[in-house]
Amino acid sequence: MRQALAGQGASRGIALGRARLRIAHAADTREQVIEHAQVEAEVARLHCALDAARGELNALRERLHGALAHELGEFLDIHALILDDPELLNGLDVLVRTGHYGAEYALKLQRDKLVAVFEGMDDPYFRSRREDIEHVVGRVRAALHRGTGEAPAGIAGEILVAESVGPAELAQLQARGVTAIVTAGGSTLSHTAILARSLHMPLVVSAHEALAQIDEGAALMVDGSSGEVICEPDAGDLRRFRVRRQELARERRGLQKLRRAETRTRDGVEIRLYANAESRQDVAQAHALGAAGIGLYRTEFLFLQRNQLPDEEEQFRAYRDLVLGMTGRPATIRTLDLGADKADGAGVALASEPNPALGLRGVRLSLARLPLFATQLRAILRASGYGSLRILVPMVSCREEMVAVRALIAELARELRTEGHEIADQFEIGAMIEVPAAALALAGLADQLDFISIGTNDLMQYTLAADRGNDAIAGLYSPLHPAFVRLLREVIAVGGKHDLPVAVCGEMAGDARYTRLLLALGLTDFSLHPSTLLEVRQAVRESDLQALRRRARSLLRAKDRAQIERWMAWSKGEGKDREPVAGSR
Ligand code: PEP
Ligand code: MG
């Protein structure tokens, strides 16, 4: 019988398929005891599954590049560490060898024990790591099931229905041909959701009734925009599905036509779309789509997932190749943004801090480790001899930091010239504006800057006191808070007053839903992942800049998110209807 369930659309796209349910632990709750003679074979089966899980993680890492690798790297590291954790492994062996439990049941017992440890921790960050244990155990369990001939959760043409799905699983599910995912929990701003959007995998989250109401094998229709999930759709639903699918295919074809198009508003103003890049593939894609340059090159990936620091030569080659790859268009290289939340294997960042987001991170860490910072800057300066290069400094909170960075760059440039290196005559040096203090004190910082790039991902978390990685408060972590919109406007305006080019390089810049809002606030430079460039170009081309700017005042007068959302809905029509906020009290 037809049934409609409501969730939240987290990744656009529609899908029709049979439901594949994944109900956590249902199969493993029964106690499972084995004979003494089976023990070694069971241990071997268990280790085979652990190896398979490790192999899957490795294969996944090799397939990922660029932003996906960046998004997933942290999860893959944590999952790999859990899989090699001696406590987990010894515990499992003891349970099978001494307790004579079957592998699945031993896995369940170990999972319960570890989850209890994490749940008992005071720190919400560590408590939230419980989810990682669940995902790792789920991966090993799936490998055990595969070994016994059971079908994996989610096969070609099916729609996976689960309590939650880990980011590391997504790419695999897609490779297996799963066409959409519905989760009972989760949020639209989780890493899983961000990643689903990059992979173009339709995803509906927070469909609370999904596991209770959907039967295994039921026909499902899923709309990742509206969050609608229809179980056993009727003829009318199927008609709607076909129409929607044609619309989406048309949209996609339309976007492809924009590959070589100009990025100009309807009233003829050129908007610059730069790319956020981390790999050669990103650089090549940025080029193919006509990006204005690289607006953010995150250098952390050279330092993560390894035990030794990259030396000057290795870094120089990476930066030089980036500059050469852009054939004259500017490449903006961000200096190291490590911290205890993105700790490197070589131990540059502190292994742990009480509050990593507020700790020794970004330029603070670089200035505290001067030899390391000097090595990176020397490599960047040497690459400047090969093309247009700009230096971007992350996590700046005060003028003194920029004064120190500029002095160091000047000294290193002198040193390199004396050594006979061919480097640029001048360098543009900019700051990421992602700490509210820097945003509010920008006028005083301006003489130390040649350009700025607003890191909305961090600026939002610090302005709204909402941890960007915490799903529990994901609803608060939104750019649509009036305070945040006003702060953005302030930074763009002060930057303009001091003749500083201003870009936004956080996720917000790559989300076409916010393009008009940013244009209304005065933004002309966007830096975004190449996978979203065409959508934003289309939104720019459909916008009337003068009309949007005329209405900026009413946007800045908004009192709450609902009023900003109404302004956004209205801005798509750009002024045909009455202004939504201006007259409201
Ligand atoms: C940001 O904070 O918006 C940003 C682009 O930097 P990252 O996401 O690397 O912290
Ligand atoms: Mg940041």
Per-residue pLDDT, 111:
85
- One domain for residues 452 and 485: yes
Q: Which residue has the higher pLDDT, 67 or 481?
A: 481
Distance of CA 299 from the midpoint of ligand 2 (Å): 12
- 133 and 111 in contact (C-beta within 8 Å)? yes
Eight-state DSSP code of residue 15: E
Q: Which of 191, 231, 481, 529 is catalytic?
A: 191
Per-residue pLDDT, 493:
98
Taking CA atoms, 186 is separated from 5, 392, 539, in Å, by 16, 34, 28
Residue owning the nearest CA to atom 4 of ligand 1? 455
Q: In the structure encoding, which two tokens stand for residue 496, read together?
A: 């303009």
- Asked if residue 578 belongs to a domain, the reply is yes
Calculate mean pLDDT across residues 417-445: 97
Question: Backbone phi, then psi, for 451, in 5-degree steps?
Answer: -165, 165
**344 CB less than 6 Å from ligand 1?**
no
- One domain for residues 158 and 265: no
Per-residue pLDDT, 62:
65
Taking CA atoms, 521 is separated from 283, 448, 517, 548, 549, in Å, by 29, 24, 6, 8, 7
- One domain for residues 395 and 432: yes
Per-residue pLDDT, 353:
82
- One domain for residues 490 and 583: no
Q: Is pLDDT at 113 greater than 90 in this prediction?
A: no
Per-residue pLDDT, 69:
60
Q: Is 25 a catalytic residue?
A: no
Taking CA atoms, 327 is separated from 292, 320, 330, in Å, by 11, 11, 9
* Per-residue pLDDT tens digits for 557-569: 999 999 999 999 9
Distance of CA 447 from the midpoint of ligand 2 (Å): 22
Question: Backbone phi, then psi, for 431, in 5-degree steps?
Answer: -120, 145
Q: Which residue has the higher pLDDT, 142 or 355?
A: 355
Which chain residues have CB less than 5 Å from ligand 2, an ion? Answer: 434, 455, 458
Ligand in closest contact with the CA of 456: 1
User: Which numbered atom of ligand 1 lies nearest the CA of 459?
Assistant: 2
Residue owning the nearest CA to atom 9 of ligand 1? 298
Per-residue pLDDT, 413:
98
* Per-residue pLDDT tens digits for 450-472: 999 999 999 999 999 998 877 67
pLDDT more than 70, % of the chain: 87
Most confident of 100-109, 194-203, 545-554: 545-554
Ligand in closest contact with the CA of 298: 1
Judged by average pLDDT, the poorest of 271-280, 313-322, 537-546 is: 271-280
Residue owning the nearest CA to atom 3 of ligand 1? 455
CA–CA gap between residue 215 and residue 341 (Å, rounded):
40
Q: Is pLDDT at 316 greater than 80 in this prediction?
A: yes
CA angle 126-127-131, nearest 5°?
A: 100
**434 CB less than 6 Å from ligand 1?**
yes
Residue owning the nearest CA to atom 6 of ligand 1? 455
DSSP 405-465: HHHHHHHHHHHHHHTT----S--EEEEEE-SHHHHHTHHHHGGG-SEEEE-HHHHHHHHHT
Question: Backbone phi, then psi, for 359, in 5-degree steps?
Answer: -110, -145
Distance of CA 280 from the midpoint of ligand 2 (Å): 22
Per-residue pLDDT, 166:
78
Q: What strands lie across the sheet with 3-6, from one edge to the other?
A: 3-6, 228-231, 219-223, 14-22, 158-162, 180-183, 203-205, 8-11
Write the CATH number for 368: 3.20.20.60
Per-residue pLDDT, 202:
93
**529 CB less than 6 Å from ligand 1?**
no
Give the contacts of 201 (CB within 8 A, at least 6 positions apart).
11, 13, 170, 173, 174, 178, 180, 181
- Asked if residue 17 belongs to a domain, the reply is yes
**341 CB less than 6 Å from ligand 1?**
no
CA–CA gap between residue 188 and residue 475 (Å, rounded):
9
- Asked if residue 241 belongs to a domain, the reply is no
* Per-residue pLDDT tens digits for 373-387: 999 999 999 999 999
Mutate to test the pocket of ligand 1, among 276, 336, 337 (most ligand atoms within 8 A of CB): 337
- One domain for residues 541 and 576: no
- One domain for residues 464 and 580: no
Per-residue pLDDT, 294:
97
Per-residue pLDDT, 223:
95
Q: Is 48 a catalytic residue?
A: no
Distance of CA 332 from the midpoint of ligand 2 (Å): 15
Calculate mean pLDDT across residues 168-173: 77
Per-residue pLDDT, 468:
82
CA–CA gap between residue 62 and residue 5 (Å, rounded):
37
- One domain for residues 217 and 268: no
- 551 and 536 in contact (C-beta within 8 Å)? no
CA–CA gap between residue 60 and residue 69 (Å, rounded):
9
* Per-residue pLDDT tens digits for 567-580: 999 998 765 556 66
**458 CB less than 6 Å from ligand 1?**
yes
Write the CATH number for 87: 1.10.274.10
Q: Is pLDDT at 65 greater than 80 in this prediction?
A: no
- Asked if residue 245 belongs to a domain, the reply is no
Q: In the structure encoding, which two tokens stand for residue 585, read together?
A: 């009290």
- One domain for residues 47 and 191: yes
Burial string for 219-236 (b: 16+ CB within 10 Å, else e) reads: bbbbbbeebbbbbebeee
Per-residue pLDDT, 411:
98
User: Which numbered atom of ligand 1 lies nearest the CA of 455?
Assistant: 3
**71 CB less than 6 Å from ligand 1?**
no
Residue owning the nearest CA to atom 1 of ligand 1? 455
Per-residue pLDDT, 227:
93
- Total domains present in the chain: 3
Distance of CA 578 from the midpoint of ligand 1 (Å): 36
Distance of CA 456 from the midpoint of ligand 2 (Å): 7
- One domain for residues 180 and 100: yes
**456 CB less than 6 Å from ligand 1?**
yes
- What residues pair up with 453 in beta bridges, in sequence order? 432, 503
Cα 219 versus chain centre, distance: 31
How confident is residue 72, by pLDDT bands cut at 50, 70 and 90? low
Q: In the structure encoding, which two tokens stand for residue 327, read together?
A: 């054939």
User: Which numbered atom of ligand 1 lies nearest the CA of 276?
Assistant: 5
- Find the domain containing 441 and state its range: 260-550
Strand ranges (E), 352-405: 389-393
Q: Is pLDDT at 184 greater than 80 in this prediction?
A: yes
Judged by average pLDDT, the poorest of 53-57, 348-352, 516-520 is: 348-352
Distance of CA 301 from the midpoint of ligand 1 (Å): 13
DSSP 116-171: HHHHT-S-HHHHHTHHHHHHHHHHHHHHHHHHTTPPPSS-TTEEEEES---HHHHH
Q: Which of 79, 135, 231, 505 is catalytic?
A: 505
- One domain for residues 311 and 421: yes
- One domain for residues 172 and 300: no
Q: Which residue has the higher pLDDT, 192 or 309?
A: 309
What's the whole-number average pLDDT of the chain? 87
Mutate to test the pocket of ligand 1, among 298, 304, 529 (most ligand atoms within 8 A of CB): 298
CA–CA gap between residue 287 and residue 329 (Å, rounded):
9
Per-residue pLDDT, 585:
44
Residue owning the nearest CA to atom 10 of ligand 1? 458
* Per-residue pLDDT tens digits for 263-301: 999 999 999 999 998 777 788 889 889 999 999 998 987
Per-residue pLDDT, 150:
44
Per-residue pLDDT, 148:
52
**102 CB less than 6 Å from ligand 1?**
no
* Per-residue pLDDT tens digits for 228-262: 999 999 999 999 999 998 988 888 888 889 998 99
Taking CA atoms, 190 is separated from 57, 130, 207, 477, 513, in Å, by 20, 15, 15, 10, 17
Ligand in closest contact with the CA of 395: 2
- One domain for residues 354 and 395: yes
- Asked if residue 524 belongs to a domain, the reply is yes
Question: Backbone phi, then psi, for 280, in 5-degree steps?
Answer: -60, -40
